[in-house]
Amino acid sequence: MKPTAEVVQAASALSSWLSGVCTEVNKLSSDVSTRLERNLAGRSSVDSAALEGLDECPRKFLTKNSYAAGAGTFFAVETLGEGVPALDWWARKEYGTIGRLDLDMTPGSSRYYDYEKLPFFSTAASTGEQSMWGPYVDFLGFEEYILTFAAPLGIQGRFSGVAACDIRIKDLEPLIMPTLRAISGDAALLNASNRVILGNSGSYLVGERIKSGQPNQHRMNLDVPHLGLSLIYMV
């Protein structure tokens, strides 16, 4: 069945907005890489001196992109010198200020943040492409549903980590819900695992896994490279 004009328009609008996020995250990765390359001056492992001024990149990203709740860099541990922090993460605080977020990086701790095993990091590491993880409940940070967008970070031609940003679903809703509601029937934005990111009705709940082949349910893949996003709609 050929999609209606409103579905085509919604898919195009969603693709455009989400591609814009990917462009900004890719620029963040590029800015971080450039800063690190300059600070390293040919040294192979990231030391404390290489981190000088690095905070300017995520702070600038958050100032420009109000939809993001947090942004920063996660390093591949193997690239770090002894005693160098494994991540540099900045988040919006109360009253709109931006501050560094400290996470527990102690192996064995009940709140240990083993990010190298998480999909946003591992997928970027294995594919060399941008990745997205979520929606998931971020119990170690915002403690609510978020999406994490990430882009690989290269130093001297090798994978060295990711630059990433978090978007809370409650902040995403006012940005893309009008597009979803322009579709007359039930519709939802899905991730690559067929889980609902956001739906235009109570028929599609955030995080719900959607089974394929349901009667009258149709799908359009979004034009956002590497992320596997799609729009489903009922007719």
Whether 57 and 68 have beta carbons less than 8 Å apart is answered as no
Average pLDDT (46-65) is 95
- Structural domains in the chain, CATH included, are 5-12+171-234 (no CATH), 23-168 (3.30.450.20)
Whether 113 contacts 107, CB under 8 Å: no
3 state SS of 94: helix
CB 79 within 8 A of CB 40: no
Whether pLDDT at 41 is above 90? no
Furthest-apart CA atoms within the chain: distance in Å: 60
- Asked which of 130-139, 160-169, 199-208 is least confident by mean pLDDT, the reply is 130-139
Phi and psi at residue 158, to the nearest 5°:
-125, 150
Output the pLDDT for position 42: 82
Question: In what order do the strands lie in the sheet containing 158-168?
Answer: 98-100, 87-92, 70-75, 158-168, 145-155, 131-137
Residue 194 has pLDDT above 90, yes or no: yes
Percentage of the chain exceeding pLDDT 90: 74
Structure confidence at residue 110 (pLDDT): 63
Q: What is the pLDDT of residue 141?
A: 58
